[in-house]
Structure 1
Amino acid sequence: MDLGTIWFILWGVLWAVYFILDGFDLGIGSIMPFFAKSNEEKRIMYNAMGPFWDGNEVWLITAGGVTFAAFPKTYAVMFSALYTPLMLLLFALILRGVSFEFRSKIDSPGWRKLWDTCNFLGSFLPALLLGVAFANIFKGIPIDQDGILHGNLLTLLNPYGLAGGLLFVALFAHHGALWLAFKSEGDIHDRAVALAGKLWPVVAGLVVLFLVMSLMMTQLFANYLVNPLLFIILLVAVAGLVLTMTYRKAGRILASWGASAVLIGSAALFGVVGIFPALLPSSLNPAYSLTIQNSSSTPMTLAIMLGVALVFVPIVIAYQIWTMRTFSHPVTKADLDYEEAY
């Protein structure tokens, strides 16, 4: 296996890990206005995300950094062709980060409502925009031989792109509801479990819709038809979807969240494997697509990066595991009295 292919696989895995980890706190922020009944419940939701959200976004930086370093031409064209949605994503994430720190600085309902709104927009919009962006990548973006986009933001808001956006919003909301159920007790726990139950058929319906649209409107299944063994990825995603419901009904909430993580990760990898060897397919002409062959860095650069990744990525994973184990206890009313609490 050549270095370009190795980095393509790592690129896909990094995006999948980001969707899994940041997905649950984006999901909690997205459901907050419709779920929380009081300021205390909002604080519980904030503190269910608090120890994790900034660490989770490190994986977004890592995925973007890998795109820049391993596939610089793809990075340049992607951040040009998708400039508007990516800038909207950036500003939304900035608002969300600020909301965590500023919400409790002034004891005023209006002040808190302002930052709650920012947190909601900073959670919902990234979920929607990421889904729209990746659905368009899976479908193919109208770029020419010079990497120039033939269209605008409305071009990206096509039915398939919007289906991807809605799927991401539903996946993350369901994922977040399960995490909130794991991190809470009493009434809020019971309502979070019930909400996850209501969201599950929505997720299942959107998954089926997206797969049907993918079959009809994209070439995602081409690699799978050439090598049927790849359908294991899709089967794993389906198993994750079913087990999420099964474990939830059995009261095994953490296992249900883990199955949801498998579903999100497998769904992301399904799309990435489907576009291989392209990173940015062109819908105008396949010859204009940016692939491993025409957009990767030099072999020496890729080799050095691989060595660095083999050293530091396990350290980041170990830290992430330690953080999640350390803060795995449910958030209680007593926790809200800590000075460090949100």
Structure 2
Amino acid sequence: MSLHLHDVWFVLIAVLWTGYFFLEGFDFGIGVLTKPLARDRTERRVLINTIGPVWDGNEVWLITAAGATFAAFPDWYATLFSGFYLPLLAILVCLILRGVAFEYRHKRPEERWQRNWENVIFWCSLLPAFLWGAIFANMVRGVPIGPDKNYAGDLLDLANPYALLGGALTLVLFTFHGAVFASLKTVGEIRTRARRFAAGLGPVAAVLAVAFLGWTQHDSGNGRSLAALLVSAAALLAALVMNRRGREGWAFALSGVAIAAAVAMLFLALFPDVMPSSLDPRWSLTAADAASSPYTLKIMTWIGAVMTPLVMAYQAWTYWVFRKRIGTQHIPEPTGH
């Protein structure tokens, strides 16, 4: 079977979303952990500082994924962003407020000021972590798409048990990923506590992963998606073992592999569709039907081949520069700045 450019771009967009969830997953998790893991304002500052240099770079993957979808598959983009308008708008508002909170939290020393922005960070991390899972679950399951290829449902169609399970999985899995990252990036008591938190949350993530990915495999899976499911499950279990042994680098890498394999499984189950119709399979959007012209895809391929390695190299360098651990002793106490 010949490989067409629209198939290549389907794979590239899947890679972009996978990178986004791998990276943004742990910083959503850190945002959620500012309440259950941190015991005081100083510890919350430690957690926020672990992602301070990288959170905005992680969001570049989202911008690139959305932009690539718009350019390579305009019909997919149009149907997705119109049908999922309200949850996507909620995510956008959360990402804006979250960014503002990171920048403004330390501008004044008053406890109330900082606590209010910390609440914004918590809720604007928790809500997107849940909504992304619900959105992708609905995209794989299928939504009401009419013969004109437009979304024909309402918000209640998106709030089904499968989507809610998908949202619960991403929320718990991202929080687990964030706890492992916190144990990798901190020192002292908060490091030990993060490892214990990950040990307790990991089995919950494993149960939700088996339930959701098993449901996906039963409804729309194939041999390739089954292989990705098994990789995700094995990586998550191995991450739990490494976390228990105190091998934090391995635990973080493996929890990232679990997320990446789970996202890959969803795209493997989805292909060759990009937006299945729950009303009639004939009305589903496929990668071939929704793609831009071959010339557009060719130009995009050349641009992507040049720019993608540069962006990835720069982001890898950023992580290397800010690789050291931090603790409460690194936080100036008197002013909270």
Q: Does 1:198 align with 2:193?
A: no
Indicate the residue corresponding to 2:242 in structure 1: 247
State the alpha-carbon separation in 1 of the partners of residues 214 and 327 from structure 2. 43
Change (3 A) 1:35 1:334: closer
For 1:329, give the aligned amino acid: K
Q: Deviations over 1:284-329 (max 9, x none)?
A: 1111111111110010110110111111111111111111111111
Show the counterpart of 2:187. 185
Per-residue deviation, residues 105-158 of structure 1 (Å, max 9, x unmatched): 111111111111111111011111101000001100111122333332222111
TM (normalized to structure 1)? Answer: 0.94
Letter in 2 for 1:252: R
Alignment CA distance shift 1:96-1:172 (3 Å):
same
Tell me the equivalent position of 1:325.
320
Aligned mates of 2:203, 2:9 — CA distance in 1: 35
Give distance in 2, aligned partners of 1:230 and 1:132.
Answer: 19
| Contact 1:132–1:165 (CA under 8 A) maintained in structure 2 | yes
Alignment of 1:187-226 (within 5 A): 187-216=189-218, 218-219=219-220, 221=221, 224=222
Equivalent position of 1:45 in the other structure: 47
Paired position in structure 1 for 2:296: 301
Contact preservation (8 Å) 1:81, 1:147 = no
The offset of 1:229, in angstroms, is 5.2
- Structure 1 residues 84-93 or 203-212, which shifts more? 203-212
Rounded to whole Å, the distance in 1 between the matches of 2:30 and 2:76 is 32
Deviation digits for residues 41-92 of structure 1, max 9, x if unmatched?
A: 0100110010110000000001001100000111011111110001001001
2:88 aligned partner: 86
Q: Match of 1:320, SS? A: helix
Rounded to whole Å, the distance in 2 between the matches of 1:105 and 1:158 is 42
- Tell me which amino acid in the other structure corresponds to 1:149: Y
Unaligned ranges ≥5, structure 2: none
Pick one of 136, 139, 143 that aligns with 2:138.
136
Say which of 104, 107, 115 aligns to 2:106.
Answer: 104
Counterparts of 2:111 and 2:105 in 1: how far apart (Å)? 10
Percentage of identical aligned residues: 42
Q: Specify the code of the residue in structure 2 equivalent to 1:33.
A: K
- Name the stretch that deviates more: 119-128 or 207-216: 207-216
The answer on whether the counterparts of 1:44 and 1:331 sit within 8 Å (CA) in structure 2 is yes
Name the stretch that deviates more: 105-114 or 296-305: 105-114
The answer to whether the 8 Å contact 1:73/1:295 transfers is yes
Q: Tell me the equivalent position of 1:260.
A: 255
Contact 1:282 1:289 in 2 (8 A): yes
Query: Residue 297 of structure 1: SS of its match in structure 2?
Result: coil
Deviation of 1:334 (Å): 4.9
Q: Number of residues paired by the alignment?
A: 333
Of the three residues 258, 268, 277, the one matched with 1:282 is 277
Counterpart in 2 of 1:238?
233
How does 1:116-135 map onto structure 2 within 5 Å?
A: 116-135=118-137
Match of 2:36 in 1: 34
CA RMSD of aligned residues (A): 1.5
Letter in 1 for 2:327: T
CA offsets per residue over residues 184-243 of structure 1, 9 Å max, x none?
111000000000000011001101111333245x32x1xx1xxx3553322221221121
1:67 corresponding residue in structure 2: 69
Instruction: Give, in whole Å, the separation in 2 of the partners of 1:189 and 1:229.
Output: 37
User: Structure 1: which 5+ residue stretches go unaligned?
Assistant: none
- Give, as a single letter, the amino acid of the residue that structure 1 aligns with 2:163: G
User: Aligned partners of 1:151 and 1:297: how far apart in 2?
Assistant: 25
Of the three residues 150, 153, 156, the one matched with 1:151 is 153
Question: What are the equivalent positions in structure 2 for 1:155-166 lying under 5 Å apart?
Answer: 155-166=157-168
2:59 match: 57
Decide whether aligned partners of structure 1 residues 229 and 117 sit closer, same or farther in structure 2, where only a CA change above 3 A counts: closer
Q: For residue 296 of structure 1, what is the amino acid of its counterpart?
A: A
- Counterpart code for 2:127: L
- Secondary structure of the residue aligned to 1:143 is coil
SS at match of 1:33: coil
Q: Distance in 2 between matches of 1:132 and 1:320?
A: 28
Matches within 5 A, 1:19-30: 19-30=21-32
